[in-house]
Amino acid sequence: MRTQKLRSKKRSSPKNAFYAQSGGVSAVINASACGLIETARKYPDKIAKVYAGRHGIVGALTEDLIDTSLESRATIRGLRHTPGGAFGSARYKLASIDKNRAQYERLIEVFRAHDIGYFFYNGGNDSMDTAHKVSEIGVQLGYPIICIGIPKTVDNDLAVTDCCPGFGSVAKYIAVSTREAALDVLSMARTSTKVFVLEVMGRHAGWIAAAGGLAGEKTRDPPHIILFPEITFDRTRFLAKVEQSVENSGYCVVVVSEGVRTADGKFLAEAGTKDAFGHSQLGGVGPVVAQMTQDAFGYKFHWAVADYLQRSARHLASKVDVEQAYAVGKAAVELALQGKNAVMPVIVRRSSKPYRWSIGEAPLATVANQEKKLPRAFITADGFGITAACRRYLLPLIGGEDYPPYIRGMPAYVALKGRSVPRRLKQPFVV
């Protein structure tokens, strides 16, 4: 009797969960991890341990798992204010099931070996596709697993969700940095720099570039020009606008997306910037457009490329963004415990003014591989600015500050112990 009870208890014992970060990281992806782990810890009868993939899905394939149960409460809490991907992320897209069935089978093999019943995948479009496929292959291989996507992308290009955790903080950073740099240029323009160019991320969608528009509030406020990937670059029109700004305001501030293209579809960054060895990776689009203004008018220019600074700037995170990042991590666990599968929590906007939002859900199939571009109605008729509708959309997302704690002048970001779960499989897997 006693033995049988124990056995049946063992049989119904809670499954472990697997969590992985995917793709480019953000200032708040760890806040999602924090929300997920803190919530999972509240349900020990349903989720035993949360194992995280070291370097994302690569960690699952290579059976390189981090045992998050060995991390202290303080460390997990500290993830909320720590940028980057604390578990390691990966740019690693699984091929289609037809093309590389072995990868999917390996995933299931690892999950089976570690008694994993939940797959939480924190990423963008591609990752939602992967999470969707994993849920399908699990069923096919007789190992059903609950798969929940957790939205993350600084690019804000995920479908269905009103916005993506990670974007609000980049938006705030770019808006504030543009305002600050513009004050600098304004100071100097009489005798020195007339044109300042800030290059921002967003290879396919202009959301981050649009956020630069929040730096200004009145018509002639900087930035005077935003160059979006959604608008074909026209050198003549651009230069005319620069000249007009310098004549009207004495200076010109340009925010340019790395994804700006010319009429032939090529990235502007590739146009005429080869070094002595013929490489074209050198130099971004920022220096290219800055140089154009000097060639045309002789203006002295400066340019900045924010690159990783913009997406790791936890010191200037949007409070709304941090809260939403935490909320989608928490909701992922709650959805899983409700028995939902192949879904992703989404941010639903209830109202813009005052800003109200709640968490909804969307089937992964509706999110996977979609790409949400900046609507044309968010860009002014001349193609160089943002409209009032865009401003209404963006402004709530940069709302509030959420400063990390500081020790001796520096932010106290946490580092994990990152202890490995002992391997159970004999066969290694090469990725």
Interactions with a second copy, residue window 144-183 (CB under 8 A):
172, 175-177, 179-181, 183
Between 295 and 371, whose beta carbon lies closer to a second copy?
A: 295
Contact call for residue 315 and a second copy (CB under 8 A): yes
Interface characters, 104-143, with a second copy (x: CB under 8 A): ----------------------------------------
Instruction: Return d(Cα 246, Cα 237) in angstroms, integer.
Output: 14
CB 299, min distance to a second copy, A: 12
CB 67, min distance to a second copy, A: 19
CB 247, min distance to a second copy, A: 17
Name the segment binding a second copy (CB under 8 A); options: 109-117, 186-194, 232-240, 374-382.
Answer: 186-194
Q: Contact with a second copy (CB under 8 A): which of 25, 246, 327, 362? A: 25
Q: Cβ(52)–Cβ(87) under 8 Å?
A: yes
126 alpha-carbon distance from chain centroid: 12
Strand partners, 20: 121
CB 277, min distance to a second copy, A: 7
Angle, in degrees to the nearest 10, between helices 319-337 and 29-40: 40
Handedness of CA 423, 342, 204, 323 (dihedral sign): negative
CB 69, min distance to a second copy, A: 21
**Residue 356, both tokens:** 């109200």
Residues 26-45 that bind a second copy (CB under 8 A): 27
**Residue 279, both tokens:** 């490489």
CB 56, min distance to a second copy, A: 8
Residue among 173, 80, 85, 91 nearest 125 (CA): 91
Contact call for residue 307 and a second copy (CB under 8 A): yes
Instruction: Return d(Cα 371, Cα 288) in angstroms, integer.
Output: 27
Q: Of 126, 129, 155, 321, which is the active-site residue?
A: 155
Instruction: Return d(Cα 237, Cα 242) in angstroms, integer.
Output: 9
Q: Does the active-site annotation cover 115?
A: no
Instruction: Return d(Cα 57, Cα 420) in angstroms, integer.
Output: 15
Contact call for residue 393 and a second copy (CB under 8 A): no
Contact call for residue 276 and a second copy (CB under 8 A): yes
Residues 47-66 that bind a second copy (CB under 8 A): 55-56, 58
Q: Contact with a second copy (CB under 8 A): which of 232, 249, 273, 420? A: 273
| Alpha carbon separation from 146 to 31, 238, 333 (Å, rounded) | 22, 50, 10
Contact call for residue 357 and a second copy (CB under 8 A): no
Q: Contact with a second copy (CB under 8 A): which of 43, 297, 413, 429? A: 413
426's CB contacts (< 8 A; 6+ apart) are none
Q: Contact with a second copy (CB under 8 A): which of 84, 149, 329, 345? A: 84
Handedness of CA 43, 46, 49, 53 (dihedral sign): negative
Residues 200-259 that bind a second copy (CB under 8 A): 214-215
Q: Contact with a second copy (CB under 8 A): which of 339, 409, 422, 428? A: 409
Instruction: Return d(Cα 398, Cα 81) in angstroms, integer.
Output: 16
Helix (H) or strand (E) holding 305: strand 301-305
Between 363 and 418, whose beta carbon lies closer to a second copy?
A: 418
Strand partners, 18: 51, 119
Between 164 and 342, whose beta carbon lies closer to a second copy?
A: 164
Residue among 206, 203, 176, 164 nearest 31 (CA): 164
Residues 281-300 that bind a second copy (CB under 8 A): 281-284, 286-288, 291, 294-295
**Residue 237, both tokens:** 């029109």
Three-class SS state of 126? helix
Q: Contact with a second copy (CB under 8 A): which of 1, 74, 377, 410? A: 410
Q: Contact with a second copy (CB under 8 A): which of 128, 170, 252, 316? A: 316
The catalytic residues are: 155
